[in-house]
Chain A
């Protein structure tokens, strides 16, 4: 698991993400201290912090959400996004913060295939997100934040190995 997590962090860094590695207690104190600075919070596995606002044309400043899985090979987070307001929050926030538990980091792309199959049996929208929104359409010069977030941070919660 350690190598998987390391690879994920390496690839995540490569696309320009800020990586913050914390244990659960550490993450809880982040929430306690900085929780208020987020306009939108949706955490699947930690109760009591969710904060939902409706997101319109103007967008929001900061969104914090939890990913279902991450993929080490590409530095990708897999985010269940079927709820439209959730999708808007993650698309229209200036800064996007993603939480992922270390036990949820997969090695290769194909390993997410079963999850995809199960989750898309009914109507659904799943997003792979790998870094902040970007373009190189003008002279191949890389520029961040075209339509979506200009900045992305990963909170990787290290869990005890079972």
Chain B
């Protein structure tokens, strides 16, 4: 087992971590919603995204303006090429003032450059004053979350740390007591230290003012008591003016922890009065850290990452982070943005590990208040790194040689079906061939007859006779085509019954998402262009139906991107995009009347790409048509842990995520779980079968076909 898998196992067996992350995941979603009451989150997000989306030239111009303004107010500005230069400069300022201690207010940029270790090596004692950061400093760890650095610890562990390191008496349960100890103990150091070090949350160019947010008040003291103040920051913190800065202050605490605003926002301009400085005014330094930022600023593929406001919310909603924590899903920067920043500011290989743990659920892109397409950036950076380390060959060849070719794909499915069936017949062989880690779900076998074959044989001939209420073009995707033909057939029967005709593509290739998620853009391009040939003209149908939201999202958001240089195909796709619907949306638009065939208590799992790709979840529809039988589940839009190849690469992580989903399902007492994604069905049904629970997992089409009468 490699080192990463060992760390994963350690994280997964850490109960404190699991409980803390679980509580936080659930509470965060609720408080985030409350904090934004009265605001349109998507509007704010676009606004902030626009403010922070600057070209390299614009950003450097803001820097020059900022520099000029602070220098004229008595501050010094230093540009550090890398961590070493930044640390050297800071240490030399500390030495000049013979500062034995320095107090620090939490700064991710200081973490990034490894400042504490560097200062210690130079005989200077840094004291973290943010409680969480101080706790992990005592524990000699790195933050596991950007905003809540000690989220992985519980009160008992903190009490023990305090007893051991400070020699104080404190009960395991006494959080207030621990906070009092911190207040008393740290107060000394503000007055002992000659230098205070902080980061900045925003840097306003028009005046040269920085804004620092804290809840504890440690930022205000760190910047007030010592005679010297050093600010460590990156160019991404620069904004033009206060209007923009205030918009960022509006979203930052809300997104970070669901708090409306932080208790303190300290706005500092220049060298203010200082009682402890013999010159009567503060000595103020700004250390701007490059460390790869200038390259990132000019990179048209990835400069979006510079929009990040360091709220940490992408970690809050990430299913992998939610079971692993930031010491596995992160390096120094944690969570999804951490995966990206690590690849720019730190080690490549470490970055690749984190990137590979992305399950592609898009929750990060949805929550990001700066409108960063995190999910896409992660896939693309991962693709580049896989290429660099020669890991693309096997999967890449599967993508281009099998998934993009109709006949080969069909053949491969057939062979797969035969092999797996013979394995399945012998349970001994099956258990021998399935490593224990992978045996957490019962997987379906490919069917010997594909959906298209059955449809063409049994249903296609009668489509002309169907009452002409509308023409539906159905895009099956691999899962319905080879694993769950019955899901597609249920749908076709239902639609025929209410007067809609169904047609399918002549030939079937994969939608390309597996390649997209792996960042293999070349393979994705090939598959998608192949698709473009096989799709009908936009005028030939009224609805473009998908029963797999991942296929739907890929068609909707990526097909046009990869066919820009194919005028006819591009036009076809452009027209088609507007007609893409999932099943619940189509039925909702048809406005059918519904009757259940008896009492059936059901719940609904929202597939990731349903909400975050197609922007329509069946939940509202089902609640509307079957209000008496629907029970909502806790964290209904939390990923099931499938993530395609993710669940094969990291079965233990996939299982941990799935376990949470199944626990939520069980606590609803429903006997049926309805969802609208074959991937989710594979995962949830497989897990439920493995646990031997009497719960059915059905696609919406099967559920309606079986339990409901539509007219």
B-binding residues in A (CB < 8 A): 11, 14-15, 56-57, 59, 73-76, 82-85, 87-88, 91-92, 109-110, 112-114, 116-117, 120-141, 143, 145-149
The winner among B23, B218, B220, B272 for most chain A CB atoms within 10 A is B220
Taking CB as reference atom, which chain B residue is nearest A128? Answer: B265
Q: Chain B, interface size: which category? A: 35 or more
0/1 interface trace, chain B 241-271, chain A, CB 8 Å (1 if under): 1110011011000000100111111111111
Q: List 5 A-B contacts (CB under 8 A).
A: A125-B224, A127-B220, A137-B148, A138-B158, A146-B215
Taking CB as reference atom, which chain A residue is nearest B243? Answer: A113
Roughly how many angstroms separate A124 CA and B268 CA in the complex, as a whole number? 6
Is the C-beta of B178 less than 8 angstroms from some C-beta in chain A?
Answer: yes
In the complex, which residues of chain A have a beta carbon less than 8 angstroms from the beta carbon of B272?
A: 82, 84, 123-125
Roughly how many angstroms separate A110 CA and B242 CA in the complex, as a whole number? 8
Contact between A84 and B217 (Cβ–Cβ < 8 Å)?
no
Contact between B191 and A57 (Cβ–Cβ < 8 Å)?
yes
Contact between B249 and A147 (Cβ–Cβ < 8 Å)?
no
Contact between B243 and A135 (Cβ–Cβ < 8 Å)?
no
A-B contact number at CB 8 A: 187
In the complex, which residues of chain B have a beta carbon less than 8 angstroms from the beta carbon of A57?
A: 187-188, 190-191
In the complex, which residues of chain A have a beta carbon less than 8 angstroms from the beta carbon of B150?
A: 137-138
Taking CB as reference atom, which chain A residue is nearest B132? Answer: A137
B275 interface neighbour in A74, A75, A85, A125, Cβ under 8 Å: A85
The winner among A120, A130, A138 for most chain B CB atoms within 10 A is A138
In the complex, which residues of chain B have a beta carbon less than 8 angstroms from the beta carbon of A15?
A: 260, 263
In the complex, which residues of chain A have a beta carbon less than 8 angstroms from the beta carbon of B131?
A: 135, 137-138, 146
Known: A88-B224, A138-B158, A140-B148. A127 touches B269 (CB 8 A): no
Known: A110-B247, A125-B267. A146 touches B217 (CB 8 A): yes
Roughly how many angstroms separate A145 CA and B131 CA in the complex, as a whole number? 12
Roughly how many angstroms separate A75 CA and B265 CA in the complex, as a whole number? 13
Nearest 4 pairs of A and B residues by beta carbon: A148-B217, A137-B132, A128-B265, A123-B270
B241 interface neighbour in A11, A113, A124, A136, Cβ under 8 Å: A113
0/1 interface trace, chain B 327-353, chain A, CB 8 Å (1 if under): 000000000000000000000000000
CB distance from A87 to the nearest CB of B (A): 5
Roughly how many angstroms separate A91 CA and B178 CA in the complex, as a whole number? 20
Is the C-beta of B142 less than 8 angstroms from some C-beta in chain A?
Answer: no
Known: A117-B207, A133-B217, A147-B183. A112 touches B175 (CB 8 A): no
Interface residues of B in 130-156 (CB under 8 A from A): 130-132, 135, 148-151, 153-155
A125 interface neighbour in B132, B151, B268, Cβ under 8 Å: B268
Q: A130-B262, A138-B155 are in contact. List 6 more A-B contacts (CB 8 A).
A: A75-B260, A124-B270, A138-B153, A139-B175, A146-B182, A148-B216
In the complex, which residues of chain A have a beta carbon less than 8 angstroms from the beta carbon of B207?
A: 116-117, 120-121
Roughly how many angstroms separate A131 CA and B247 CA in the complex, as a whole number? 20
Contact between A91 and B220 (Cβ–Cβ < 8 Å)?
yes
Contact between A82 and B273 (Cβ–Cβ < 8 Å)?
yes
Is the C-beta of B114 less than 8 angstroms from some C-beta in chain A?
Answer: no
Known: A14-B260, A84-B274, A147-B129. A122 touches B269 (CB 8 A): yes
In the complex, which residues of chain A have a beta carbon less than 8 angstroms from the beta carbon of B265?
A: 76, 127-128
Interface residues of B in 105-132 (CB under 8 A from A): 129-132
The winner among B149, B155, B175 for most chain A CB atoms within 10 A is B175
